Amino acid sequence: MELRTVATTPFDDQRPGTSGLRKTVTHFRQENYLENFVQAVFDTVPELKGGTLVLGGDGRFYNREACQTILRMAAANGIARVMVGRDGLLSTPAASVVIRKHQTQGGLILSASHNPGGPDGDFGIKFNTANGGPAPETLTEAIYARSRELSEYRIYDHPDIPLYETGVFSIADTHIIVFDPVSDYAELMEEVFDFEAIRQLFLGGFRMRFDAMHAITGPYAHDILERRLGAPEGTVIHGTPLPDFGGHHPDPNLAHATELVNELFDDAGPDFGAASDGDGDRNMILGRQCFVTPSDSLALILANAELVPGYRGRVCGVARSMPTSGAADKVAKKLGLEAFETPTGWKFFGNLLDAGRITFCGEESFGTSSDHIREKDGLWAVLCWLNILAVRQQSVIDIVRAHWAEYGRNYYTRHDYEGIDLVAAQGLMAHIEAQFPALTGKELAGGKVAYADNFSYTDPVDGGVSKNQGLRIGFEDGSRIIYRLSGTGTVGATLRLYIERFEADPAQQRQDTQQALAPLITLALELAELPQRTGREAPTVIT
């Protein structure tokens, strides 16, 4: 066994995006590409030396190979202990649980989340800090800066560590602890939710389908839903993690979880349906003939938090990402709670959670969570809904409609244009922004523009400023059009168009979403000259 110092040259494209460094598998497999980034992390986070690192991923292609490389590098960099999930598996929320519970100095999560996997798919890596949350921007920028000046990395020559069973191994002086990726997470869920009430719900014949999309939540869902909560076997579908996710997008939305959606929209469908993404941090919530938008889900969870033992009597505030609909704000206002609007990406919730300013937070992109960890958490959201359904004994659709009647409905949609030309996308954004000075006060699509700006965020806890976080056009009645370029794509540019309209009148709350938003969508396309500039007649995905 030999410690090697390997000479390397920097790559110039290792700046982490919305959620870590995400590239195609081919890109990641270039010589030294992974090693350089991992060395940049180790150099930037000196606490890891002599400390403990958590490691695991969503099981996608290259996950195991990357784990072995990182273990060898961790030992060569003097990390005292690495806790690695069995088979190299660990969901993003479970990584957050383990980092916090075992008070480690951080963790590396191997995942490209909802992006497709396999040899022709994507891979990714993200560093989470000691609070269990994604590295804040200052740290990701420091890692990026280090990656630009790197000249060598350290690694041990060592045979692979057997990851297929739990146990303790070592490379030089570094202990490698292979642990069960499910148990710490499942135990925390038992503390937060009323498992007895949910057990009774299933005993009463309540039917549910959970689609793990051949991604990481399979083992967690089998254990929690079918074993601990007694849901019948078969409740969890696609429950075995596969390196290519069965050839599908592990993205829980109406476009990609079609089998589940079709089942739930059948008259004889189950009472409740849910799905999670590649790394287990996203969730989609469905009732029979009912899709709950993630923005509504956040609002509903907040409004019903007193029914969940882990939150009773202690809810302090809520945060949502800027493009997420304002539904949660309405609930916060009624309950007299603070509400925050942050840029897209979970890292912006960290300070608010650590400071005890918010209990719940969420994003329109199927991400919801609370202060129990510092990541978004797919199964947590599902259990939240099960807990609420168990107590309220009403159908999902009745609960949603009652919520709209009380707070109003925020019609909401997101249109994604994937893989468009980067220069065209930047030109489109510049063209929209150039119109902003003339937009305020104008009557458009039956509404008056109240403001048009490029969203900038000042962190209320540390005062840090994040600029250029998306273009917003806000109307006096609360409607909004938002344009953003994605920070997680790996090919060309992805333009996200977010549209929202508030409807207070219950008689007007049953329209089809796309129809209800049609005038605003048309306006958004016109202002952006979207078809002309991108050559696209229709979005790639509508959620």
Q: Which residue's Cβ lies closest to ligand VG1?
A: 113
- By beta-carbon proximity to ligand VG1, the closer residue of 16 and 408 is 16
In the numeric block, the tokens 């022709």 are attached to: 120
Whether 493 and 420 have beta carbons less than 8 Å apart is answered as yes
Nearer to ligand VG1, 41 or 198 (CB): 41
Number of residues this chain uses to bind ligand VG1 (CB under 6 A) = 18
Binder among 100, 282, 320, 472 for ligand VG1 (CB under 6 A) = 282
| Cα–Cα distance measured from residue 308 to residue 324, given in angstroms and rounded to the nearest whole number | 24
Residue carrying structure tokens 């995006």: 17
In angstroms, rounded to a whole number, what is the distance separating the alpha carbons of residues 84 and 378? 21
Of 221-229, 340-348, 419-427, 500-508: span binding ligand VG1 (CB under 6 A): 340-348
Q: How far is the CB of 536 from ligand VG1 (least distance, A)?
A: 17
* 344 is a site residue for Co ion (CB under 5 A): no
- Binding to ligand VG1, residues 1-40 (CB under 6 A): 18-19
Cα separation, 262 vs 259, in Å, equals: 5
The interface mask with Co ion, positions 264-293, x = CB under 5 A, is -------------x-x-xx-----------
Residue 113 interacting with ligand VG1 (CB under 6 A)? yes
> For residues 492 and 489, what is the distance between their CA atoms, to the nearest angstrom?
8
User: Least CB distance from residue 218 to ligand VG1, whole Å?
Assistant: 16
Q: Which of 91, 113, 147, 321 is flagged as catalytic? A: 113
What burial class does residue 433 get, using C-beta atoms within 10 Å of its C-beta: 0-12 exposed, 13-18 middle, 19+ buried? middle
Nearer to Co ion by Cβ, of 174 and 344: the residue is 344
CB of 135 to ligand VG1, least distance (A): 13
Closer residue to ligand VG1 in complex, CB, 128/304:
128
Based on CB atoms, which residue is closest to ligand VG1, 39 or 321?
A: 321
Q: Exposed/middle/buried for 206, CB within 10 Å: 0-12, 13-18, 19+?
A: middle
Identify whether the C-beta of residue 486 lies closer than 8 Å to the C-beta of residue 18: yes
Spell out the alpha helix ranges (H) of 393-497: 396-407, 422-439
The answer to whether 515 and 501 have CB atoms below 8 angstroms apart is no
Which of 113, 217, 368, 488: binder of Co ion (CB under 5 A)? Answer: 113
Number of residues located near Co ion, criterion CB under 5 A: 5
Residue 35 CB: number of other CB atoms within 10 A?
21
Site for Co ion in 49-78 (CB under 5 A): none
Interface of this chain with ligand VG1, residues 295 to 324, rule: CB under 6 A: 321
Rounded distance between C-alpha atoms, residue 457 and residue 209, angstroms = 39
Site string (341-370) toward ligand VG1, x via CB under 6 A: ---xxx----------------x-x-x---
* CA 326 – CA 172 distance, rounded (Å): 53
What is the pattern of x (binds ligand VG1, CB under 6 A) and - over residues 143-182? ----------------------------------------
**For residues 87 and 281, which CB has a smaller minimum distance to ligand VG1 in the complex?**
281
Report the DSSP beta bridge partners of residue 83.
54, 177
Query: Closest approach of Cβ 104 to Co ion, in Å?
Result: 21
194 near ligand VG1, rule: CB under 6 A: no
Contacts of 319 by beta carbon, 8 Å cutoff, 6+ apart: 339, 340, 341, 342, 349, 352, 358, 360, 361, 362
Print burial letters for 247-283: b (CB count within 10 Å at least 16), e (below 16): ebbbbbbeebbeebbebbeeeebbbbbbbbbbbbbbb
Q: Which does 226 bind (CB under 5 to 8 A by kind): Co ion, ligand VG1, none?
A: none
The footprint of ligand VG1 on residues 487-506 (CB under 6 A) is: 487-488, 496
Q: How far is the CB of 210 from Co ion (least distance, A)?
A: 16
CB of 252 within 8 A of CB of 275?
Answer: yes
3-state secondary structure of 366: coil
Buried b (16+ CB within 10 A) or exposed e, 64-103: bbbbbebbbbbbbbbbbbbbbbbbbbbbbbbbbbbbbeee
Among 122, 223, 281, 500, binds ligand VG1 (CB under 6 A): 281
| Residue 367 binds which entry of Co ion, ligand VG1, none, CB below 5-8 Å type-dependent | ligand VG1
Contact partner at residue 344 from ligand VG1, Co ion, none, CB < 5 to 8 Å by partner kind = ligand VG1
Rounded least distance, CB 253 to Co ion, Å: 12
Least spacing, CB of residue 281 vs ligand VG1, in Å: 5
113 is catalytic: yes
Minimum CB separation of residue 425 from Co ion in Å reads 23
State the Cα–Cα distance between residues 190 and 294, nearest whole angstrom. Answer: 23
Q: How far is the CB of 363 from ligand VG1 (least distance, A)?
A: 4
Cα 457 from Cα 157, distance rounded (Å): 46
CA distances from 492 to 125, 422, 434, 488 (A): 20, 5, 23, 11
Active site residues: 113
Q: Which residues bind Co ion (CB under 5 A)?
A: 113, 277, 279, 281-282
Q: Which residues bind ligand VG1 (CB under 6 A)?
A: 18-19, 113-114, 277, 281-282, 321, 344-346, 363, 365, 367, 486-488, 496
